[in-house]
Copies of this chain bind each other. A is one copy, B any other.
Amino acid sequence: MSTATVNPAGGTSPAPAADACCTPSQGEAILNAGQAEALALRFKALGDPNRLRILSIVSASESAETCVCDLPEPLGLKQPTVSHHLKILVEAGILHREKRGVWAYYSVVPGALESLGASLAAKP
């Protein structure tokens, strides 16, 4: 009866025996490391309560943008911390930064959140 259990040694699941826990594998349809890393970067940006609240504030005024000066107060955070979170959201492609004069205005990148949500419903 050849192999009884699937063991990680190099062999790629020869044949599913009766006492095997389940069907060994299904081809190569899973996320590779690169795709997973890119997706994780964007979800990680959403994995902080204060960043979610920043998004909530910014997206609550969709037509207009939100300037940094209005964020520290409702969040209870200091200005450098807010800038730090904003940078992470920009690098994740979720927020857009536009500086006018002394002030910096942030807005949600159109379709960014929707595309992230779609990648969830489709299959990670």
A interface, CB within 8 angstroms of B = 5-8, 13, 21-26, 29-31, 33, 36-37, 39-40, 43-53, 55-57, 59-67, 69-70, 72-74, 102-103, 105, 113-114, 116-121, 123-124
Determine the chain B residues whose CB is within 8 A of the CB of A24 once the complex forms. 70
Can you name 14 extra interface pairs (CB under 8 A) apart from A22-B65, A23-B61, A113-B124? Answer: A8-B73, A22-B64, A22-B103, A23-B63, A29-B60, A36-B49, A36-B53, A39-B46, A40-B49, A46-B47, A56-B124, A60-B123, A113-B120, A117-B118
Please name the residue on chain B nearest to A62 by beta carbon.
B26
What is the CA–CA distance of A83 and B48 in the complex, to the nearest angstrom?
23
What is the CA–CA distance of A40 and B25 in the complex, to the nearest angstrom?
32
Question: Can you give 24 contacting A-B residue pairs, CB < 8 Å?
Answer: A7-B61, A8-B63, A21-B69, A22-B61, A22-B63, A23-B61, A23-B62, A25-B74, A26-B60, A26-B62, A30-B56, A31-B52, A31-B53, A36-B50, A36-B52, A37-B49, A40-B51, A40-B52, A43-B46, A44-B44, A52-B124, A114-B120, A114-B121, A117-B118
